[in-house]
Amino acid sequence: MHLHGAPAARANCHCNACRDFYGAPVLAATAWSPEQVGVDGATQVFAHPSRSLTRRFCPQCGETMHGTNRLDMCVVPNALLARAHDGKLPAELQPTMHLFYRHRVLDVRDALPKYLDGWDGPVHDE
């Protein structure tokens, strides 16, 4: 996979859709416009049956390359990016916020802003 430029967002997402779709309590990921993302080789796409979400994955190993959210942004899991950088996520890709914190299934103690709904509006008070 090739990523060009800087991501539009770097976040820990707590929404129900990401939790269900990626099978994790929190999805740490970056969001990119489709023009910034290129994938070499064959991939397959899984479309969520009831939400505006897709997941593109490698048919050989099953690794998720990226998903597409309701805003048509390519959502790349940070775990994949960390593996491409010897196990350490570069500072320029580290999350800068929490999204949909109202829907969290676990509390997170860090200094990042915790937006209750999306990436603007009210923030969780600790």
Torsions phi, psi of 13, nearest 5?
-100, 130
Q: Could you give the C-alpha distances from 51 to 10, 20, 55, 65, 78, in angstroms and in order?
A: 22, 11, 12, 19, 22
Helices (H), the chain: 16-22, 78-83
Report the pLDDT value the prediction gives residue 27, as an integer from 0 to 100: 95
Query: 62 falls in which pLDDT band (50, 70, 90)?
Result: confident
- Select the CATH number that applies to the domain covering 2-74+85-103 from these four: 2.170.150, 2.60.40, 2.70.40, 1.20.120: 2.170.150
pLDDT in tens, 7-47: 999 999 999 988 888 889 999 999 999 999 999 889 999 98
Instruction: Give the global pTM.
Output: 0.88
Domain definitions of the chain by residue range: 2-74+85-103
pLDDT in tens, 71-124: 899 999 999 999 999 999 999 999 999 999 999 999 999 999 999 998 778 889
Q: Are 57 and 39 in contact (CB under 8 A)?
A: no
Residue type, 28: A
Q: Are 3 and 73 in contact (CB under 8 A)?
A: no
Report the pLDDT value the prediction gives residue 121, as an integer from 0 to 100: 81
- In 3D space, the residue among 33, 31, 34 whose CA is nearest the CA of residue 15 turns out to be 31
